[in-house]
Amino acid sequence: MNINAISISFGGVKALDDYHLNLAPSRILGVIGPNGAGKTTLFNLITGFIRPDSGHIYFGDEEITHWEPHRIARKGISRSFQNICLFNRLSVIDNVIVGCQIRQHPSLLSALFKTPGFKRNEKKLRDSARRLLSVFGLEKQSDQRAMSLSYGDQRRLEIARALAARPKLLMIDEPAAGMNPRETEDLLALILKLRIEFDLTIILIEHNMNLVMPLCETIQVLNYGRLVAEGTPAEIQQNPEVIDAYLGDENDIASHGS
């Protein structure tokens, strides 16, 4: 993943200005910064929901700057959303199956005539979705509608759906929002486990330092669309500019974490 000097502005406000990123495979990057710093805009740019005014985005050896979202997803970038966006009226398992279907090109005729190949494929999709749900501890709810899940389960289901698309790069937008310390700890363990099991590169947006600091190998700090700092968690915690812009004094860090 390589991002070269992208900028975008909305009606005169620079949401991202001259942003750079170089992320090696299998790394975990944390993006932090105050609200409105441009973090989610960055996600929307990478996943193709919005186009940058200038700059280039490369993934693997291809430039994906102007690709459509579904094509970027098929290339291997999946995401979760800050405000949970599930397919509410689909069942939990169908939410995941929709993810599993990616890169398949089933013919409509095989569905109409219910060919053996069609049935095999449906069973395969269902099995892999079920496996994924059990990793997330959601297998018992698999036939409920997604909207009936608890908040924490919905967050997990979103990540499960993103993983179902077998991404190389997983982008998670504030997964710990609204979670208590106990749930946050479980989430931390889960992400670490997923990372190894699925060999993932991860970009994480998160305010909760209890998740960011132990998880991320590199942290970027954004403020008013500008990249203020980049470094290891230890370096970031020491950086006077970061402390000034975002973290505040030591006590603030502690309170952010809770």
Partner 1 sequence: MHSGRQAGYTFMALGLFFLGIYLLSAYGNHYYQRVGNLMMIYVILTVSLNLSSGIMGISSLGQIGFMAIGAYVAAILTLPPGLKERWLTGLPHWMHSIQTGLLPAMLLAGLLAAVVAFLVGIVILRLQGVFAAVATLGFLIIVKVIAENWMTVTRGGRGLSALPAYTNLWWTSTAAVVTIYAVWRILKSPHGRSMIAVREHDLAAQSVGINAPKIRLLAFVISAFFTGIAGALWANLIGVVSPGSFYLWLTLLIIIMMVVGGMGSVTGSVISAVGFTILLELLRGFENKIAMYGISYIIFAVVFLLMIIFRPEGIMGDREFSWRNVRRIIPLP
> Cβ of residue 92: shortest distance to partner 1, in angstroms?
13
| Cβ-based nearer residue to partner 1, 93 or 228 | 93
In this chain, which of 88, 238, 255, 258 binds partner 1, going by CB under 8 A? 88
Assess 89 for contact with partner 1 (CB under 8 A): yes
> Cβ of residue 74: shortest distance to partner 1, in angstroms?
5
Assess 224 for contact with partner 1 (CB under 8 A): no
Assess 196 for contact with partner 1 (CB under 8 A): no
Query: Is the CB of residue 21 less than 8 Å from the CB of residue 227?
Result: no
d(CA 61, CA 88): 36
> Cβ of residue 170: shortest distance to partner 1, in angstroms?
11
Cα 11 from chain centroid (whole Å): 27
Taken in order 158, 159, 160, 164, the sign of the CA dihedral is: positive
In this chain, which of 61, 108, 143, 251 binds partner 1, going by CB under 8 A? 108
| Cβ-based nearer residue to partner 1, 6 or 96 | 96
Assess 49 for contact with partner 1 (CB under 8 A): yes
In this chain, which of 4, 55, 58, 90 binds partner 1, going by CB under 8 A? 90
SS3 sequence of the chain:
CEEEEEEEEECCEEEEEEEEEECCCCCEEEEECCCCCCHHHHHHHHCCCCCCCEEEEEECCEECCCCCHHHHHHHCEEECCCCCCCCCCCEHHHHHHHHHCCCCCCCHHHHHCCCHHHHHHHHHHHHHHHHHHHHCCCHHHCCCEHHHCCHHHHHHHHHHHHHHCCCCEEEEECCCCCCCHHHHHHHHHHHHHHHHHCCCEEEEECCCHHHHHHHCCEEEEEECCEEEEEECHHHHHHCHHHHHHHHCCHHHHHHHHC
Assess 103 for contact with partner 1 (CB under 8 A): yes
Sole window of 51-59, 67-75, 134-142, 211-219 interacting with partner 1 (rule: CB under 8 A)? 67-75
Sole window of 111-119, 178-186, 192-200, 248-256 interacting with partner 1 (rule: CB under 8 A)? 111-119
Assess 130 for contact with partner 1 (CB under 8 A): no
| Cβ-based nearer residue to partner 1, 146 or 242 | 146
Assess 83 for contact with partner 1 (CB under 8 A): no
- What does the binding site for partner 1 look like in residue numbers (CB under 8 A)? 47, 49, 68-70, 73-74, 78-79, 81, 85-90, 94-95, 97-99, 101-104, 106, 108, 111-112, 114, 118, 121, 125, 161-162, 164-165
